[in-house]
Chain A
Amino acid sequence: MSEYVLEAKNLTKIYEAGENRVAALSDVNIQVERGEFVSIMGPSGSGKTTLLTMLGCFDKPTSGQVIIDGLDTTAMREAGLPKIRAEKVGFIFQAFNLIPTLTALENVELPMERGKIPKGKRKGRALKLLESVGLEDKADRKPSRLSAGEQQRVAIARALANSPAIILADEPTGNLDSRTGREIIQLLRKLRREEGSTIILVTHDKQLASLSDRMLSLGDGKLLKKANNT
């Protein structure tokens, strides 16, 4: 098994719109170690979200490889990807993306239906996760009765549900005020310590990015530099 929990090799994504070919990502190489907290910065349109959807196996790259936990996901058939997404990847969205009809607890339990956690232990684990994000007393609330920060905390608990190899966070503070945003990042740092998760954070906020172990910069679909934060 590779020493890296996540590797992107020569990752390229080209969108074709008629005659136009737009390279959203070109030849990106990333290695992330287990337990690392990496932030990826860049202006809008630099390819951050595209990179994250490739890493999360939401979309296929035009060329290159994405290797998660030693598994070459780009070589896998489409039918095998849901399992990878369920077990290896936790995703935190800018818009929280909770299921509006389910309670906080049910939202956290939902990914477990596709994971390896036995049925009888799901509720307990979901409650424990809600507790670790400080929402144990709001487990029965639907998203509409939670504040934005609380919703994002539920989303973080959901991302951790199946103890994934990597957590991908796409501008998780983008819809939050700066104080709540900082709290969310602190929470991610705490959970990394507690759960031993590997976190890849996409943001355009340098202050938040500075809280990570390592910062990467993306511009025009290319990785600009590597900088060690610690």
Chain B
Amino acid sequence: MGVLKMATRDIWRRKARTFLVIIAFGFSIAILIAIPAATQAYSSSVETTIGNQASAYQGLIGNIATEITVGPPQENFGGMSFGSSFGGRGFIDENIAENIASIPGVDAVVPEFQSFSSLSSAENQGYQGFRNFMTITGIPLNSSADENYGIQPSTIVSGRTLNENDNSCILLGSDLAENYFNVTVGQSVNIDNYSFLVVGIFDAGNRMANRQAYVSLDDAQMMFDQPGKVSQILVFADSVGDVDNIVNAIDSTYGDSVSVTTQSNLLQTIPGFFQGVEENVSSRVAQMNSIAGQEILIAIVAGGLIVCLTMIYTVRERTKEIGILKALGFTNRNITSQFMLEGAIIGLVGGLVGCLIGSFGAPLLSSILLPNASLPTGFSGGFIMSSQSTAQIVMPSMALILFGLGVAVLLGVVGSLYPSWWASRKRPAEALKYE
């Protein structure tokens, strides 16, 4: 009881010194808390970002990979079916689509008619086109696949996409609308003597893509005089696993009269992509952890030294008091425990201060001590694109704070081991002479 009283009162005997020691020690503990909090936040944020990126990428690839294209036989399929619109070749029967739709595992079937129309020079005065033709794609207007698989362009700049019953209507690429036809939504355009009402204008991002137009499948077949024919059928499987079965079923029914292409090879690129990302990420995490480890070590050593030096000073100052205690019959162990208790109290109070500084100052401390730990927001070519600072999300967990407090008390005890031992070894007569 007396020993505990003496220990606590001795600590407060020199208030200014104790205050400074506790603040300094507190900062060591705060660093001890803030750094792991920052590395934890960083690692988990990187994992989340990778996860999000992976599922987004997989979703994207998954969509493409479930796509099967059924077109005219390979030998008749000239390049981009460029000749088809003129030669009348390169088409397959539209009713193939209905048959394919009944194959198990097929989610949607979209027959498309795609051809080219030349743009007459009389109508395009001053129009400096890449080629004097436009691509016209005929699509079924009642297809639910449009919603799921994005058959029509989604980047509408004015108007809307084609709806059911939109016969004699057209969705125009912005290049055609602005530079060639010079029309807006609601006006009409004339193509190969067919008149279409412009219901929407889209911007697909580049000039070639913006020289396309979408009309109904019926209109396209009529325009190019190919009733019941389509240039390709897009088949969407329920899942990637269904693709092979569907392809086999189409092959067995139609053999060489059609060509079938899939995108399954795209899937093989996924592991490579993410391996790159993960290697990059793990090397950055490892680098950061090594810096963090060094800083934590320095914080621990500094904290221990602060306590040790303080206690050495205290013991020297109180050598005479140690002599008195020994003269009164206190044992070496009594004296050692008194000074270790003092060290532990400094550790505890300093630890509490450190937890406080660490809890509120962790974002600032970590941004100073781990400037590289800014959080990744995405990946490009396997490299982390980072911009967000860790500061916003670094918050030490309760477990981490308790750990910091434990280390603080331990450091207080360990730091006062040597000074306490030194104090207890003084002979009473010798200690009493000490002034």
> Which residues of chain A have a CB within 8 Å of any CB of chain B?
53, 56, 58-59, 79, 82-87, 91, 93, 97, 99-102, 106, 109-111, 113-115, 158, 162
Contact = CB atoms under 8 A, between A and B. Distances in A.
B330 A99 contact: no
A59 B430 CA distance: 9
User: 8 closest Cβ contacts across the A-B interface?
Assistant: A86-B329, A101-B9, A114-B329, A59-B429, A85-B329, A58-B429, A58-B428, A111-B328
Say whether chain B's binding surface is mostly helix, strand, loop, or mixed.
helix
A148 B133 CA distance: 115
A82 B429 contact: no
B80 interface: no
Contacts of A162: 329
A110 B10 CA distance: 15
Given A83-B329, A99-B324, A113-B3, 15 more contacts: A58-B326, A59-B429, A82-B330, A82-B331, A91-B328, A97-B320, A97-B323, A97-B324, A97-B432, A100-B13, A102-B5, A102-B9, A113-B330, A114-B329, A114-B330
A59 B1 contact: no
Contacts of B321: 99-100
Nearest to A159: B328
Contact of A82 (B323, B324, B329, B427): B329
A115 B2 CA distance: 13
B56 interface: no
A93 B320 CA distance: 12
Nearest to B13: A101
A58 B427 contact: yes
Interface in B323-344: 323-331, 334
Interface in B1-52: 1-3, 5-6, 9-10, 13
A113 B427 CA distance: 20
Contacts of A109: 2
A85 B5 contact: no
Contacts of B326: 58, 82, 85
Interface in B375-392: none
Contacts of B2: 102, 106, 109-110, 113
B327 A85 contact: yes
A91 B432 CA distance: 12
Nearest to A86: B329
Give chain B's interface residue range (CB within 8 Å of chain A): 20 to 34
A101 B10 contact: yes
A58 B432 contact: yes
Contact of A114 (B323, B324, B328): B328
Interface in B298-342: 320-321, 323-331, 334
Contact of A111 (B6, B9, B320, B329): B329
A59 B428 contact: yes
A87 B329 contact: yes
Contacts of B324: 97, 99
Contacts of A56: 327
A171 to B, nearest CB: 13
B429 A53 contact: yes
Contacts of A91: 327-328
A97 B2 CA distance: 16
Contacts of B1: 113
24 contacts: A53-B428, A53-B429, A58-B326, A58-B327, A59-B427, A59-B428, A59-B429, A83-B329, A85-B326, A85-B328, A86-B330, A87-B329, A93-B432, A97-B320, A97-B432, A99-B321, A102-B6, A106-B5, A109-B2, A111-B329, A113-B3, A114-B328, A114-B330, A162-B329
Among B325, B331, B334, B429, which residue has the most Cβ atoms of chain A within 10 A? B429
Contacts of B320: 97
B133 to A, nearest CB: 100
B18 to A, nearest CB: 13
B49 to A, nearest CB: 57
A101 B6 contact: yes
Contacts of A59: 427-429
Contacts of B427: 58-59
A113 B321 CA distance: 16
A164 B81 CA distance: 118
A34 B368 CA distance: 73
A102 B2 CA distance: 9
Nearest to A97: B324
Given A99-B324, A101-B10, A110-B2, A115 B428 contact: no
Among A59, A115, A162, which residue has the most Cβ atoms of chain B within 10 A? A59
Given A58-B428, A82-B331, A99 B3 contact: no
Contacts of B428: 53, 58-59, 85
A83 B320 CA distance: 20
Among B1, B2, B13, B327, which residue has the most Cβ atoms of chain A within 10 A? B327
B272 to A, nearest CB: 71
Contacts of A110: 2, 328
Nearest to B8: A101
Nearest to A79: B331
Interface string B397-435: 000000000000000000000000000000111001000
A22 B3 CA distance: 38
B238 to A, nearest CB: 82
A74 to B, nearest CB: 15
A114 B330 CA distance: 7
Contacts of B327: 56, 58, 85, 91, 97
A84 B427 CA distance: 15
A2 B9 CA distance: 44
A102 B328 CA distance: 15
